[in-house]
Chain A
Amino acid sequence: MSQLILLAVLDGLAYAALVFMVAVGLTMIFGVMRILNVAHGSFYAIGAYTAASISLGILGAGLSPVLIYPALLLSAVLVGGVLGLLIEPLLLRRIYGKEQVLQLLVTFAIFMILEDVQRLIWGSQPYYVDNALTMLGNVEVVSVFYTSYQLLVLPAVAVLTLIGLRLFLRRTLQGKLIVAVTQDREAAQACGINATRVYLTTFVIGATLAAFGGALASPTTSLVPGIGTDMIVLSFAVAATAGLGQVEGAAVTALLIGLGRSFAVYLMPELSVLMPYLIMVAVLAVRPQGLFAVAATRKV
């Protein structure tokens, strides 16, 4: 039993790390642009597939397998950069200030398009490239063996991302601009901040984080169509539970939902799919704004 609990905790931590990477991008984009990017799950999926393809390329070319690790980051930047730089200026920029419903539907449309793009490029056969995982071997935790990749690399990357984002948002000019636009766009623009550029920066950062989450996840799971859908719903649950726009809160709720889900997997497998929703519904029933958000004043 105690082994089971330990395994559940370890699984939960690794999973929470991945979910956090996606959810934090989602919540940042929402904070700045007030748009829920439904296509965010596709960035995750395409990031994962790209990483798998590049890894296969590295192995096929006979290069050192260690190169796979930087390749994970490279595929994230590639996917986040290309998709972010295309989607924000070409599509999203046309709908700021329109009805919220329409904004939601535009990202939903992008999501549908990207799902098929992904299927056209990579097909529906599962991809499984786990060299990044197996190369690092296992470590023993108390009495169970666990892969070092999931135990150390994933949580470390997530924690570094959180610290990095915090420093970036609080200490650098670019980051402070993002915070300013998040808090009050009109006032920020009145001070001469170029909101359009801040939007683009935020969107590219958010997309890259989601793709990085996918790239990191690719060695741990087999890639099939539909992984993006699961992830967008899950990361929305995380972001909404924390309160949309909350970066640090997303880390806490990612842990909460990651652990909740993995405990459900071990103890009540039928409920594992439902767990994130149950947590989200339970939290929102008590705190409609999410755990960490401050209730906004209503404007008359």
Chain B
Amino acid sequence: MTGRPSLLIPIALVLAAAVVPRVFPWLEVVLLLTIAQGLAVLGILVLLRAGQVSFGHGLYYGLAAYAVAYMIRGGVGTDVLLVIPFGVAVASLVGVLVGLFVVRYRYIFFAMLNLAFSMVFYSILEKFFHLTGGSDGLRVPRPTFAGLELERAAFESSLFYLSLGLAVLVGIGVHRYLQSPLGKALEGLKTNETRLEYIGISARGALLVAYVVSAALAGLGGTIMAMVQGVVTPEIAYWVTSGEFVFVAILGGAGNVIGPFIGALVYQVVRLYAAAYAADVWQMILGVVLLAVILAAPQGLVGIYRDLIGRRRSARRGGEGAQ
């Protein structure tokens, strides 16, 4: 699982992602949403490394999105290059505060306390109508891009390449973090926390770092999503959003940093069609797929791919794909 991944696939994916919107312009928004969701899912993946799952990362996704909306509407900072760091900073700051509390808990308590915090935020968004626009949400005016006022299409393209670049950088960063001693401590936390503390590492400290990283990632995704959609509603902080993140993380496979983006891509494309043809049973489809993935392919899509590759090269790297 932790071996040096082949660089071929990630590079091919990024190149394909960079070229495809030039051929099929309608895919640009789909890919932007894929990146936004993929970043948040990457946050979930960091926590999954520690064996923890959060049903509340919609909190950070929504926080950053609303922060962006307020900032642009208030005229405080109306440039993409200011808005993104601000949204990420807000999400990280709240991540530290909430993190200090939730890292004391594990598993179910961790999952449900995160859910509780996100639901608190959700009901604040719903209830304080005069501030948040209630369930109608807030419109997000289009920000400038590095000082330039752009038309919608040009703005989306610029934002897309910026996001793609950010996603690549963040992906590399997270990969290196997970390979670092601090990241390895998360695996230790998953297998045996007491042993981890016996070797002198604070389990809570390691988990707090991971938690803040995951909050920042979800925040980054949220800022992009807010600018792409041009509107923020309380739904983005609802538990369904958080559940989708976890779903995509499992679908893509929690083994490496590419999984979240592949999972998010499959998810967005399927949703595009399912929303049109099977809106009534959308959740059911998600549930069945989730069950199938967990029961039949716990390593996710990336794992299935690896198994296929692994079988071909079984002589050389046979045992690597095993759990």
A146 part of interface (Cβ distance < 8 Å): no
* Chain A residues, Cβ within 8 Å of B193: 298
A300: contacting residue among B192, B284, B290, B294, CB under 8 A: B192
B50-86 interface bits toward A, Cβ cutoff 8 Å, 1 = contact, 0 = none: 0111010000000000000000000000000000000
Asked if A274 contacts B120 (CB within 8 A), the reply is: yes
B109 — which chain A residues lie within 8 A by C-beta? 240, 284, 288
Contact between chains at A111 and B281 (CB < 8 Å): no
Which of B112, B116, B127, B283 sits near A112, CB closer than 8 Å? B283
Task: Provide the bound-state CA to CA distance between A58 and B136, in Å.
Answer: 41
Question: Is A281 within 8 A of B283, CB to CB?
Answer: no
Q: Which of B119, B280, B283 contacts A233 (CB 8 A)?
A: B119
Are B250 and A236 in contact, CB atoms less than 8 angstroms apart?
Answer: no
Contact of B294 among A109, A112, A119, A298 (CB under 8 A): A109
The yes or no answer to A270 lying at the interface (CB within 8 A) is: yes
State how many residues of chain A have any CB contact under 8 Å with chain B: 42
0/1 string, B221-252, CB within 8 A of A gives 1 = 00000000000000000010001001000100
Q: Min CB distance, B111 to chain A, in Å?
A: 6
CB distance B246 to A108 under 8 Å?
A: yes
Residue B172 is within 8 A (CB to CB) of chain A in the complex: no
Q: How far is the CA of A108 from the CA of B281 in the complex (A)?
A: 16
Residues of chain A lying within 8 A (CB to CB) of residue B119: 233, 273, 277
For window 266-292 of A, CB contacts with B under 8 Å fall at 270, 273-274, 277, 280-281, 284-285, 288
Does B158 make an interface contact (CB < 8 A)? no
Q: CB within 8 A of A288: which of B105, B120, B281? A: B105
Judged by DSSP, the binding face of B is helix
Instruction: Give chain B residues whose Cβ lies under 8 Å from the Cβ of A109.
Output: 286-288, 290-291, 294
The answer to whether A270 and B127 have CB atoms under 8 Å apart is yes
Give the secondary structure class of A's interface: helix
Contact B294 A106 (CB under 8 A): yes
A102-B294 contact in complex given A284-B113, A300-B195, C-beta closer than 8 Å: yes
Chain B binder among A92-100, A149-157, A165-173: A92-100
B residues 22-37 near A (Cβ < 8 Å) are: none
Q: Is B7 an interface residue (CB 8 A)?
A: no
Interface presence of A139 (CB below 8 A): no
What are 13 sample pairs from A and B whose C-beta atoms fall under 8 A apart?
A36-B112, A95-B295, A105-B53, A105-B246, A105-B250, A106-B290, A109-B288, A112-B283, A116-B282, A229-B239, A233-B112, A277-B120, A288-B104
B residues with CB within 8 A of A: 48, 51-53, 55, 101, 104-105, 107-109, 111-113, 115-117, 119-120, 123, 127-128, 192-195, 198, 239, 243, 246, 250, 280-284, 286-288, 290-291, 294-295, 298
The 7 closest A-B pairs by CB, nearest first: A112-B287, A113-B287, A116-B284, A109-B290, A109-B287, A277-B116, A112-B283
